[in-house]
Amino acid sequence: MSHTISAQDLRTKVARIIEQAGSTPEEAAQVADNLVMANLSGHDSHGVGMVPRYVDAVLEGGLSPNTGVKVVLDTGPLLTLDGQRGYGQITGVQTMQMGIERAKQHGVCTVALRRSHHLGRIGHFAEMAAAQGLVSMHFVNVLSRPVVAPFGGGDGRFGTNPCCIGVPMGNRAPFVLDFATSRVAQGKMRVAHNKGEQVPLGHLIDEHGHPTTDPGVVVVPQSNGLFGALMTFGDHKGFGMAVACELLGGALTGGGTWHQEADNQRAVINSMLTMLIDPVRLGTQPQFEQEAQAFADWLRQSPNAPDSTGVKLAGEPERAARIERERQGIWIDEATWAEIEAAEQKLKQR
């Protein structure tokens, strides 16, 4: 049986589980808020379905409750932070708060956050910056299991490496481009697998490197004990973006890149390079705002393509989903709900 639950009830349930896993009530509430916001935004892959994985990671010691960032270097416009495997919903927000403060002061700030636990939906951080009138760019690598194949390769060699660009649009809602460099997010394959759905060809290769429509190849070990892999979006171009995320998010931050065999640990480690720019300090604010809005208007004047509801700008689908799901509740599939319940039981029985 699937569940439709209000955002508030879901927050309460998730916060209770995260607290049982060792977090303070404040931390648990912040993690729960962030996960439920991902569901509200239409990204179930980065929402409360992550809770069982977080619980396992805490129990294994790969995720450290009540652990914030440690400052490694702070020169003002350059900031290096160690996430110390704390919840990304905490370390990511701390990173942005510190980066925003410094960008306001110096006009720019580059923040290298290394070794955080899963940062969830990266757009959350771009939205924080845009709300303060700042442009932000985020490059992230993912150390958990190498689930994405290089263009021209036949097995998984790196993670779903998300990239995100946030641009404030004056008195309008911001542009928030936030995507995995894999054709689809790994979490979306978990959701599809849990729902018993197939996915279109061109998203996945199986454990032998052959094209497949079965999302299970990247969710459960296959007959030979190996996994299949996701493909990057946009052929060689998406692959290039994924490599850029690994080089900037993984290598430049000091967090580390993929070059080892996967283990069975459940922790998901993210490192993120964030660059913040204050258009006011750049001296272009009035033109920036005017030109950005004029371009958005120009785009929207394009006639609708057949069967399309018209041009949207990145960030709009998430905002529309929030309005709808706040009103109608959040639908959680049966398998995801059962996994969340099982995680809660596991904590009670230890």
Q: Which residues bind ligand NAD (CB under 6 A)?
A: 43, 45-46, 118-123, 140, 142, 160, 162, 164, 176-180, 184-185, 188, 270, 312, 314-315, 317-318
Give min distance, CB of 123 to ligand NAD, in A: 5
Cα–Cα distance for residue pair 34/65, rounded to 1 Å: 15
Task: Give whichever of 68 and 317 is closer to ligand NAD, judged by the CB atom.
Answer: 317
Q: Which residues of 260-293 are buried (b: 16+ CB within 10 A; e: fewer)?
A: eeeeebbbbbbbbbbbbbbbeeeeeeeebbeebe
In terms of CB distance, is 13 or 118 closer to ligand NAD? 118
Shortest Cβ 158–ligand NAD spacing (Å): 11
| Comparison of 140 and 217: residue with beta carbon closer to ligand NAD | 140
Cβ distance to ligand NAD smaller for residue 68 or 107: 68
Angle, helices 25-40 vs 316-328, to 10°: value is 110
CB of 173 to ligand NAD, least distance (A): 11
Cβ atoms 86, 117 nearer than 8 A: yes
Token representation of residue 213: 């429509």
Residue 34 to residue 89: CA distance in whole angstroms: 6
Answer yes or no: are the C-beta atoms of 96 and 274 closer than 8 Å: yes
- The residue (of 40 and 347) whose beta carbon lies closer to ligand NAD is 40
Minimum gap (Å) between residue 183 Cβ and ligand NAD: 8
Q: Please, are residues 122 and 142 in contact by the beta-carbon 8 Å criterion?
A: no
Residue 107 CB, shortest distance to ligand NAD, in Å, is: 26
Relative to beta strand 108-117, strand 229-230 is unpaired
Nearer to ligand NAD, 25 or 310 (CB): 310
Closest approach of Cβ 235 to ligand NAD, in Å?
Answer: 16
